[in-house]
Amino acid sequence: MNDHTVATVEELDDGDRKLIELEGREVALFRIDGEFRAYTNWCLHQGGPACEGSVTGTSTAEFDRDDLQTDLQWCKEGEVLNCPWHGWEYDIPTGECLSKEGTKLPSHPVEVNDGEVIVSL
């Protein structure tokens, strides 16, 4: 496994991302809630550039069986990555796909050392 210094901590604010190429692979570094995550830019669906997609929230819903009302809510603002090809949603903190259980973006270990962000590949 090779370590790559890909950014400085100051370079990315919360909600930012940086696309880099490591050993011939496209990787995206995300900063969210102060933490860094690195994923391969490859959607599990059809190989689209998932990490280049929009970052949004998403919808959740609860159904009240007594009054038969559905309560729609917007949640996870800034934590949902949408693949630009077909809209597959990924949870940025975990890499998990929201619409296909057990599916995760390929992730890479990230360490912060002396103000530098290091991704291992």
Partner 1 sequence: MSQAKSHALADTTVVDTDVHITVEEETVAKYLEEPYRSSITDSPHAMFPSSSWDQRMGGKIDDHFSTFTGPEDVQQFQSDFDIDYPIINTFEPLGKFPQPDLAMSLMRAYNDLLLDQFLDDYDFLGLAAVATQKPEEAAAEIDRLSNEDGIVGIYIGTSGEYPPLGDPANDPIYRAAEDNDLPVVFHGNGDEFMFDFPHHNKGFNNYFEVQTLGHPWQQMATMSSLLGEGVPAKFPDLNFVFLEAGIGWVPYMMHRMNKIYRMRRSEVPLLEKSPEEYLRDQFYIGSQPLGEPNTSDDMKRMIETLGADMLMFATDYPHWDFDHLEELDKYLQHYFTDAERQKILYETPVEAFGLSV
Contact 28, 12 (CB under 8 A): no
Q: How far is the CB of 39 from partner 1 (least distance, A)?
A: 18
Report the residue number, 7 or 92, with the smaller CB distance to partner 1.
92
Q: Which stretch binds partner 1 (CB under 8 A): 10-18, 26-34, 52-60, 109-117?
A: 52-60
Contact 78, 55 (CB under 8 A): yes
CA 59 distance to own-chain centroid: 17
Report the residue number, 15 or 84, with the smaller CB distance to partner 1.
84
Q: Which stretch binds partner 1 (CB under 8 A): 5-13, 47-55, 60-68, 106-114?
A: 60-68
For the stretch 36-53, what's the b/e string if a residue is b when 16 or more beta carbons lie within 10 angstroms of its beta carbon? bbbbbbbbbbeebebbbb
Residue selected from 10, 68, 114, 115 as contacting partner 1 according to rule CB under 8 A: 68
Quick one: tokens of 88? 């597959």
DSSP state of 10: G
Question: Counting contacts by CB under 8 A, is residue 70 touching partner 1?
Answer: yes
* Interacting residue ranges for partner 1, rule: CB under 8 A: 45, 58-61, 63, 65, 68, 70, 72, 86-89, 97-101
